[in-house]
């Protein structure tokens, strides 16, 4: 597996599963994928509803999703470089699969807190999008 492919796979898995803090009206821990989704939903509202609140909330979602997307890409790139230097070429795919599986198992646990979608308590990845 090439380093570029490892970077993109690790980035996609991190975006979909890694709990990241977000700051809005209420704070919580959600994957970056939810922030991307909320930014995509509020972006058209920023154009059609020019009120301060709509633009403020949309700007927060957009800024946080771009920041986390870039940070996770740099983290995935660093991890891919470490995997490429420390493992044999035949085992790189296995190393990426182990990391992806560990993050997927973590996402099944109650590690997220998404008050905008689920409630005040901890939840798993399915509860975040509920």
pTM score, two decimals? Answer: 0.87
pLDDT one-digit tens code per residue, 18-32: 999 988 777 788 899
Give 55's pLDDT tier (boundaries 50, 70, 90): confident
Contact (Cβ atoms closer than 8 angstroms) between residue 127 and residue 114: yes
With 70 as the cut, is the pLDDT of residue 118 above it? no
With 90 as the cut, is the pLDDT of residue 67 above it? yes
pLDDT one-digit tens code per residue, 8-18: 999 999 999 99
In DSSP terms, 94 is beta-bridged to none
Average pLDDT over residues 90-98: 94
Domain range list for the chain: 3-128
């Amino acid at each position: 597996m090439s380093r570029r492919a490892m970077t993109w796979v690790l980035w996609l898995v991190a975006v979909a599963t890694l709990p990241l803090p977000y700051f809005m009206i209420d704070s919580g821990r959600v994957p970056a994928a939810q922030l991307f989704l909320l930014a995509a939903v509020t972006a058209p509202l920023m154009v059609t509803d020019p009120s301060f609140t709509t633009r403020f909330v949309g700007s927060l979602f957009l800024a946080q999703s771009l920041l986390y997307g870039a940070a996770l890409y740099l983290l995935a790139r660093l991890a891919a470089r470490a995997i490429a230097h420390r493992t044999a070429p035949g085992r790189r795919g296995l190393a990426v699969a182990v990391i992806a599986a560990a993050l997927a198992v973590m996402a099944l646990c109650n590690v997220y807190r998404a008050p905008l979608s689920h409630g005040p308590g901890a939840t798993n990845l399915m509860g975040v999008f509920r």
